[in-house]
């Protein structure tokens, strides 16, 4: 038996025999070495797989962080339309979703602030243009009215009184929200002047429940709409223009409906006007009065309010304005908190 063999023995108790076995040292070491090689191979493959996975994940997350950094860079340059794809529920997916929400909120806030500032500056410009010594103009109108009364020209005196009321109302730019009662007084003075102009060709019916006069309304909401009726609404058959103004409160919403029996408009014209009012597209022929009323209401109170219009050719036009039914002071606080918040 070679000396390199490894011997082992075991006794059998019943027979008293002893079993002796011999294993070649070389064969044993060969088997052990084969096991070691397999362990090394498995370990190497595991390390290779791990390195590959780490490399792929590194590139994946590096790309996603790069996209996030690029988006933040675009935001810093003023591009608030930037959005990140949200393809996972992990932390980066949460960051991307939060980033998109932040961009959307900033975009809405900036547009809202920009439009409000633009309208404020426009109003200030009109105010500066109108303020050509307002006291002088007011006193002059009153002097002319008194002279008309001295000459028993009561019609001219009434016209001047209405014009003076309009002037006092228009030159006061310190209040964006007014009582509905005051807005109605203003539109009544405006319509009285128009009746002197159009005579029997103009008829106005106003239905105002007395219990809503304390509510608030943005100043100059009604006049642009009524002026639009007078400009475009007269029937072509020489019939008088009949304007109806109705107020209704339901479910904490006040609805102002201004209708006429005028020429109306075709469906395609109505669709273009509706898109113009909503700001989807601009048609210079329609002017900005109705769009400004609609935009201002939505800026102050939200997208659920505003101005809508319906019309049938030769059957008249109806303009509907919806506002939150709030008392004047409550509406002022609502508007102030909305801008500050």
Taking 80 as the threshold, does the pLDDT of residue 138 lie above it? no
Task: Output 144 or 52, whichever has higher pLDDT.
Answer: 52
Taking 80 as the threshold, does the pLDDT of residue 131 lie above it? no
Position 212 scores a pLDDT of: 94
CB 147 within 8 A of CB 187: no
d(CA 305, CA 321): 8
Average pLDDT, the chain: 80
CB 80 within 8 A of CB 102: no
d(CA 277, CA 288): 8
Position 309 scores a pLDDT of: 94
Dihedral of CA 157/159/164/169: which sign?
positive
pLDDT, one tens digit per residue, over 217-236 is 998 899 889 988 888 888 77
Position 209 scores a pLDDT of: 93
d(CA 218, CA 174): 12
Position 81 scores a pLDDT of: 74
pLDDT, one tens digit per residue, over 19-69 is 766 666 666 667 777 788 888 888 888 898 988 888 888 787 778 777 777
Contacts of 131 (CB under 8 A, 6+ apart): 171
pTM higher than 0.85 for the full model? Answer: no
- By C-alpha distance, which of 259, 275, 276 is closest to 312? 259
Residue 284 has, within 13 A of its CA and on its CB side, a CA count of 0
Domains assigned to the chain: 24-128 (1.10.287), 203-339 (3.30.565.10)
Mean pLDDT of 252-258: 96
């Amino acid at each position: 038996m070679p000396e390199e063999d490894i011997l082992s023995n075991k006794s059998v108790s019943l027979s008293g025999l002893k079993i002796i076995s011999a294993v070649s040292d070389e064969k044993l070491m060969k088997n052990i070495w084969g096991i070691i090689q397999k362990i090394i191979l498995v370990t190497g493959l595991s390390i290779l797989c791990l390195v590959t996975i780490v490399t792929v994940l590194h590139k994946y997350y590096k790309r996603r962080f790069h996209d996030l950094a690029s988006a933040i860079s675009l935001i810093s340059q003023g591009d608030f339309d930037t959005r990140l794809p949200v393809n996972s529920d992990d932390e980066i997916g949460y960051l991307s979703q939060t980033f998109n929400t932040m961009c959307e909120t900033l975009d809405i806030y900036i547009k809202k602030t920009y439009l409000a500032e633009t309208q404020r500056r426009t109003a200030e410009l009109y105010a500066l243009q109108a303020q050509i010594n307002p006291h002088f103009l007011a006193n002059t109108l009153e002097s002319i009215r008194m002279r008309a009364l001295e000459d028993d020209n009561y019609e001219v005196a009434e016209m001047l009184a209405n014009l003076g009321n309009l002037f006092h109302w228009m030159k006061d730019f310190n209040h964006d929200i007014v009582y509905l009662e005051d807005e109605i007084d203003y539109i009544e003075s405006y319509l009285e002047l128009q009746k002197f102009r159009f005579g029997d060709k103009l008829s106005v019916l106003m239905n105002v429940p007395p219990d809503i006069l304390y509510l608030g309304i943005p100043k100059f909401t009604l006049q642009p709409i009524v002026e639009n009726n007078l400009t475009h609404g007269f029937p072509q058959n020489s019939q008088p223009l009949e304007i109806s103004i109705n107020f209704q409160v339901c479910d904490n919403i006040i609805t102002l409906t201004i209708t006429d029996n005028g020429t109306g408009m075709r469906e395609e014209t109505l669709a273009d006007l509706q898109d113009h009012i909503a700001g989807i597209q601009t048609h210079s022929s329609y002017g900005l009065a109705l769009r400004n009323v609609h935009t201002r209401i939505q800026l102050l109170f939200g997208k659920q309010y505003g101005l809508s219009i319906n019309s049938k050719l030769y059957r008249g036009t109806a303009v509907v304005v919806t506002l939150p039914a709030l008392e004047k002071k409550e509406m002022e606080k609502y508007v102030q908190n909305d801008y500050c918040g």
